[in-house]
Amino acid sequence: MKTQTESSSLTLDVTGMSCASCVAHIEKALNKVPGVTQASVNLATESASVQGQALQGEALVAAVENAGYHASVRTDAKKPVTAQGSNPERNQFLLAALLTLPLLYPMVLSWFGQHVMWNGYLQLALASPVQWWCGRRFYIGSFKALRSGTANMDTLVTLGTFAAYGLSLFHLLSGNSGMDALYFEASAVIITLILLGKWLEARAKQQTTAAIRALQALSPERASVMRAGVESEVAIEDLRIGDELVIRPGERVAADGEILKGRSQLDEALITGESAPVLREPGMQVIGGSINLDGQLHVRVSAIGTETTLARIIRLVENAQAKKAPIQRVADKVSGVMVPIVILIAAVTWLAWGLWAGDWAQATINAVSVLVIACPCALGLATPAALMAGTGVAAQSGILIRDAEALENAQAITVVAFDKTGTLTEGKPRVVRTVAFDGNDRQLLAQVAAVQQGSEHPLAQAVLQAAANIDSKGVIASDLRALAGRGVSALVDGKQFWFGNQRLMEELGFAAELLATRAQESASKGYTLSWAAVESGGNKQLLGLLQFQDTVRATAKQAVDQLRALGIRTLMVSGDNQASAEAIAKVIGLDEVRANVLPEFKAQVISELQKQGARVAMVGDGINDAPALATADVGIAMGAGTDVAMQTAGITLMQSDPLRVADAIAISRHTYRKIRQNLFWAFAYNMLGIPLAAFGMLNPMLAGALMAFSSVSVVTNAVLLRYWRPTNSR
């Protein structure tokens, strides 16, 4: 086995777990391994995520093996997510049911007043294969747990069924084979029902992972590539950056890339959540996994393997599903001590009924009921099953939730703070007017364009586009310097030149009243102003101004309305002047505006809101707003899911659509609600079931049925999240 060293994280595939006690025991074992800083085990995905320094795969696997389970280091990042063991579970259940049904025949007849009883040795012959063959998994699991000094669900099932089987065998061999002395059907029914529950649970777990399996299936196995003028078909693993893909109508895009030629509509629904096809033309980017609908495309590959957008989405979702929600800590603490406590309760039940009531047979049956009904399976599945379903369906809608903590924080958000440019607006401003105070508008635009050459800022791009038809070759700019949150400076034709916002002009010494007078009319229309100034002969003078207008996103107002319907207050944090920002806010319907805020001070605004008791989500582009995204309770990055956005934000929206902000909070609330429902059911089930069993009000067969039903119910409840849809898809 390969040793993994100098790694910050490793994933193990773990088998043999049966309940939340197993999870707690494996985590405890892994945390004792040198170098491990944190270990998180997921019962639903049968995996363990380990973080630390210089981790060694052999040491981690050995720790799991010594704890009584089997493990292997996951080396294939594209390992498919499947429900493990669904066919073996089904086959074991069917065999157990075939042998158990005859044992129930006399009991069914007794309901109709007919008293029939099978020969005791025939009952033994039917029950023994169920006990020792179909139920062997429980004995193997309990033996491993015993060997490592722990107890789990298998221990409870083994003790319970063996007690009923053993008591029946003792009575049979002692010559007491009456109807009230043999309980072979009880032990057989318990095992059969638990196997049924495991089979249904496996099927339900498969449904919780349907979303991520759908994402994994998006990547085709082969691709058509043009190399040296010859088209050939290669395996997806053999693609190289720079390859030219040939994508025909109906085919999936094999990797991320840039369109060289061709024009077509692409279906990106399962990747970005955009339900309508999108037009892609030469020079535009395409995402691997999207479907080419009509025209033929030639695409230059820009990312392959684990670096593609699809691979990063899958990795992000898998990481989110592997981590635990803070709410699960309570369940973990309870499950860690639950099995020993249940065994103690069963022992007290047995002694109480035997000593006080004098009926040791009934004492054994009641103790068996306690052991069987108290298995903590539902506790272990309650949170991860809901997380898997919720994060999966969110990813299919273009909402990437980084981890369980982000999801738990998102459901409690009370204030959403938006950046303006690129978030509430299209982020593609245009120059609507150039005003040169000396009347030479074209010359001023040429000077500003020279200063903005090479800049990627949206306003710079707007200037360059506006000046595209102006001959500015005679204008020479040098010593370009970016002034963060204010503008730029340069030497233009040998003179110091500035272009920026009102804050920069005030820093240069121009009167605020003069600037405000000039800006008032433009700002009231929602225009953004930038000023040009020059220093000549030791004196600074204003040259003029440019007015910019950015288009408000079509869904911005609807997004704010959706957030208000969720009881969330909205806020815009912008570097624009107050009048301009308020004009935009009025159109959208925002509750509050914070204007004239530099990027480095946006985080301070978030902190102030948090000190007032608000739970704040910051929505930005994930790059310029990184400090604010990191400061917020939840950072929500809008855009194409860049690495910076995914690393900084707790939630990444693959579409630059503010409506997805409300959807992200809505799915977080739905998922968290399912988690709470599942945990409530798991706790309430045991709180009610154990006392009823101890007082003899539940027979072992009913206890087994309820135990199996509890696990299936929490997973089935989580599966309902699959039917959630974002706002514009409902």
The DSSP H or E segment spanning 36 is strand 36-42
Burial class (CB in 10 A: 0-12, 13-18, 19+), 262: middle
DSSP 245-302: EEE-TTPBP-SEEEEEE--EEEE-HHHH---S-EEE-TT-EE-TT-EE-SS-EEEEEE
Any residues with CB less than 8 A from the CB of 500 and at least 6 apart, and which? 483, 486, 487, 488, 530, 531
**Token digits for 518?**
């000039």
- For 211-245, what is each residue's pLDDT tens digit? 677 777 788 889 999 988 888 999 988 899 999 99
Is 419 in the active site? yes
Q: What are phi and psi of 249, to 5 degrees?
A: -55, 135
Judge whether residue 321 has pLDDT over 70: no
Judge whether residue 334 has pLDDT over 80: no
The DSSP H or E segment spanning 9 is strand 9-15
Collapsed DSSP state (helix, strand, coil) of residue 528:
strand
Among 182-186, 367-371, 679-683, where is mean pLDDT lowest? 182-186
In this prediction, residues 643-655 reach a mean pLDDT of: 72
pLDDT band per the 50, 70, 90 thresholds, residue 8: low
Residues 433, 640 contacting (CB under 8 angstroms): no
477-483: strand order across its sheet:
430-436, 539-549, 528-536, 495-500, 487-492, 477-483
Judge whether residue 53 has pLDDT over 60: yes
Q: What is the pLDDT of residue 84?
A: 47
d(CA 425, CA 552): 4
Among 2-6, 225-229, 351-355, 646-650, where is mean pLDDT lowest? 2-6
Nearest residue to 398 via CA among 315, 293, 313: 313
Q: What is the pLDDT of residue 667?
A: 94
Q: What is the pLDDT of residue 301?
A: 93
pLDDT band per the 50, 70, 90 thresholds, residue 173: confident
Judge whether residue 664 has pLDDT over 50: yes
The DSSP H or E segment spanning 42 is strand 36-42
**Token digits for 498?**
């500035």
Domain assignments of the chain as residue spans, ordered by start? 9-73, 86-210+318-387+671-723, 221-307, 399-425+554-661, 430-549
Supply angle C-alpha 288, 292, 295, rounded to 5: 135
d(CA 41, CA 24): 8
pLDDT band per the 50, 70, 90 thresholds, residue 179: low
pLDDT band per the 50, 70, 90 thresholds, residue 609: very high
- For 399-454, what is each residue's pLDDT tens digit? 888 878 888 899 999 999 998 877 888 878 889 889 898 888 888 999 999 888 87
Q: How many helices (H) and strands (E) does the chain have?
A: 25, 26
Q: What is the pLDDT of residue 82?
A: 46
**Token digits for 715?**
């997973």
Distances from the Cα of 332 to the Cα of 27, 148, 511, angstroms: 10, 19, 63
Judge whether residue 640 has pLDDT over 60: no
Among 52-56, 446-450, 495-499, 606-610, where is mean pLDDT lowest? 52-56
Nearest residue to 22 via CA among 14, 31, 34, 10: 14
- For 450-472, what is each residue's pLDDT tens digit? 888 877 777 888 898 888 888 76
Taking 3-state DSSP, the helix, strand and coil percentages for the chain, each rounded to the nearest 5, stand at 50, 20, 30
Judge whether residue 327 has pLDDT over 50: yes
Q: What is the pLDDT of residue 205?
A: 67
Is pLDDT larger for residue 605 or for residue 549? 605
- The rounded mean pLDDT for the chain is 83
pLDDT band per the 50, 70, 90 thresholds, residue 652: confident
pLDDT band per the 50, 70, 90 thresholds, residue 196: confident
Residues 24, 336 contacting (CB under 8 angstroms): yes
In this prediction, residues 18-25 reach a mean pLDDT of: 78
Q: What is the pLDDT of residue 80?
A: 46
- For 569-594, what is each residue's pLDDT tens digit? 999 998 777 777 888 888 899 999 99
Judge whether residue 203 has pLDDT over 70: yes
Distances from the Cα of 591 to the Cα of 110, 287, 524, 550, 563, angstroms: 70, 37, 18, 20, 11
Q: What is the pLDDT of residue 622?
A: 56
Residues 448, 488 contacting (CB under 8 angstroms): no
Q: What is the pLDDT of residue 111?
A: 62
Judge whether residue 25 has pLDDT over 60: yes
Query: For the stretch 464-502, what's the b/e string if a residue is b when 16 or more beta carbons lie within 10 angstroms of its beta carbon?
Result: bebbeeeebeebebeebeeeebbbbbbebeeeebbbbbb
Q: What is the pLDDT of residue 245?
A: 93
Q: What is the pLDDT of residue 558?
A: 93
| Residue given tokens 């002034």 in the structure block | 483
Longest CA pairwise span in the chain (Å): 120
Query: For the stretch 535-563, what's the b/e string if a residue is b when 16 or more beta carbons lie within 10 angstroms of its beta carbon?
Result: eeeeeeebbbbbbbbbebbebbbbbbebb
pTM beyond cutoff 0.85: no
Range list of β-strands (E), 287-420: 291-292, 297-303, 399-401, 415-419
Choose the catalytic residue: 256, 332, 419, 633.
419
Judge whether residue 209 has pLDDT over 80: no
Among 513-522, 557-566, 690-699, where is mean pLDDT lowest? 513-522
CATH topology of domain 430-549: Calcium-transporting ATPase, cytoplasmic domain N (3.40.1110)
CA 667 to chain centre: 10
pLDDT band per the 50, 70, 90 thresholds, residue 180: low
- For 509-554, what is each residue's pLDDT tens digit? 888 777 777 777 776 677 778 889 999 878 889 898 898 888 888 8
In this prediction, residues 371-390 reach a mean pLDDT of: 79
Collapsed DSSP state (helix, strand, coil) of residue 593:
strand
pLDDT band per the 50, 70, 90 thresholds, residue 668: very high
DSSP 67: T
Q: What is the pLDDT of residue 130?
A: 92
Q: What are phi and psi of 302, to 5 degrees?
A: -115, -15
- For 109-135, what is each residue's pLDDT tens digit? 556 666 667 788 898 999 999 999 998
CATH topology of domain 9-73: Alpha-Beta Plaits (3.30.70)
**Architecture, CATH, for domain 221-307:** Distorted Sandwich (2.70)
The DSSP H or E segment spanning 368 is helix 360-373
CATH superfamily of 399-425+554-661: HAD superfamily/HAD-like (3.40.50.1000)
**Token digits for 47?**
């995996």
Q: What is the pLDDT of residue 78?
A: 45
Q: What is the pLDDT of residue 400?
A: 85
